[in-house]
Amino acid sequence: MKNAREKTVIRTSILSIVANILLAGFKAAVGFLSNSIAIISDAVNNLSDVLSSIVAIAGTKLSGKAPDRDHPYGHGRGEYISSLVVSAIVLYAGITALIESIKKIFTPEDVDYSTVTIVILVAGIIVKFALGLYVKKTGHKVKSDSLVASGTDAFNDAILSISVLASAIIYVIFHINLEAYVGVLVSIFIVRAGIELIKDSVDNMLGLRVESKLAKSIKAEILKEDKVEGAFDLVLNDYGPDIYLGSVHIEVPDTLTAAEIDKISRNITKRVQKKFGVILHTIGVYSINRHDEEIVKAHKDIRKIVFSHDGVLQMHGFYLDKEDMTINLDIIIDFAVENRIELYRHIFDEVQEKYPDYKVNITLDVDASD
């Protein structure tokens, strides 16, 4: 499956390379012959797409390497590194084209659009739209962010090429020279795309929040397991596109044996990996007591204290030990709260004041997933 995905990404990228080389070549030739900075900028844009596809192939090959001693979780993040390189190429191409376009505004030159120029621009637009549709569809099929981004970029390129075509038609009909301004417009779009790509690449390398739909679906699947009454603290570490390893806490009755908990943990690991392709290498356990009325009342009272404060998203992992005289619980406070530590301390003091005979332990959990 992994090899098939790699082959599809590489094959699609090669098709994109060939198409963009032809487009860049024709547009560059027409641009120099007609003395049009707008068309030359459009050609530069196509050439940057070629370089992007080449780097994407290199990244895909790197990410497809098997795990080794130094990289036990594989090389999937290599695709993010290649995306960063692609982003830099796109940004450089955009800045270079922008500088040249601005120069043309202050030192305008006559342009000479011919019928061949118009035909090539129209053909380029059609090819870009078709290429974008195919690449984006393939990207969604094999779950490749780089292909989806490449397909989207192709659509944007087609739209930019329409603006170049429009400036050429305006010049032919009305003899108004807008091509330097259109060149600036094209360049700005390229620069903007480069900045957005860099942001996406850096975000992926730093680590993003688990997609809400995926997190909720995994937790819902875990709750289907018999005896599991809650699923919390889902953490997924991204080791490349669709390569997740993670951990989760589950709430189960305190009457279960170690053997029963072991069976539940193994079942959860199997069903989550089978349905989502996610490997849960650690499943922690929160023990809950539903039979002791005093503990149930304490749980209800403490929950009331915790959620009386704005910004608290969740409370879980509650456990009251009468023998050790301890109360343990975890809370999650929204990142939007200006001073999370101050709110945490305020909650802690209130709970401790309510139960002075107990040692209260409250863990401030990270809001890692929905």
pLDDT tens-digit map of 126-154: 998 999 899 888 888 877 766 777 787 78
Do 116 and 189 belong together in one domain? yes
**Do residues 356 and 219 both lie within one domain?**
yes
For range 7-16, the mean pLDDT: 86
Reported as a single tens digit per residue, the pLDDT across 323-368 is 999 999 999 999 999 999 999 999 999 999 999 999 999 999 988 8
Kindly tell me if the per-residue pLDDT of 281 is higher than 80. Answer: yes
pLDDT at 142: 79
> What is the arithmetic mean of pLDDT over 98-111?
82
- CA dist list (Å): 340 to 43, 303, 327, 330, 364: 51, 18, 21, 14, 9
Residues 155 and 220 in one domain: no
The residue assigned the tokens 């397991």 is 225
| Whether residues 123 and 222 fall in one domain | no
- Do 104 and 197 lie in a common domain? yes
Return the pLDDT at 345. Answer: 96
Boundary-marking domain end, from 206, 240, 268: 206
Whether the full predicted model's pTM is greater than 0.75, yes or no, is: no
SS3 call for 335 = coil
- The reply to whether 45 and 183 lie within a common domain is yes
pLDDT above 90: residue 312: yes
Q: Computed over its alpha carbons, how large is the radius of gyration of the chain? A: 29
Q: Return the pLDDT at 1.
A: 52
Tally of structural domains, the chain: 2
Choice between 66 and 219, residue whose per-residue pLDDT is larger: 219
- Domain range spanning residue 340? 212-365
Whether residues 200 and 230 fall in one domain: no
Most confident of 71-85, 143-157, 173-187, 337-351: 337-351
In a domain, 76, yes or no: yes
Mean pLDDT rounded to a whole number for the chain: 86
For residue 24, pLDDT beyond 80: yes
**CATH number, domain at 246?**
3.30.70.1350
Q: Is residue 18 part of a domain?
A: yes
**What would the mean pLDDT of 82-95 be, rounded to a whole number?**
78
65 and 104 in a common domain: yes
Please list, in sequence order, all residues whose beta carbon lies within 8 angstroms of the beta carbon of residue 241, skipping any fewer than 6 positions away. 63, 76, 79, 143, 144, 145
Determine, yes or no, domain membership for 370: no
Under the phi-then-psi rule, with left for phi > 0, alpha for psi from -120 to 50, and beta for the rest, what region is 52?
A: alpha
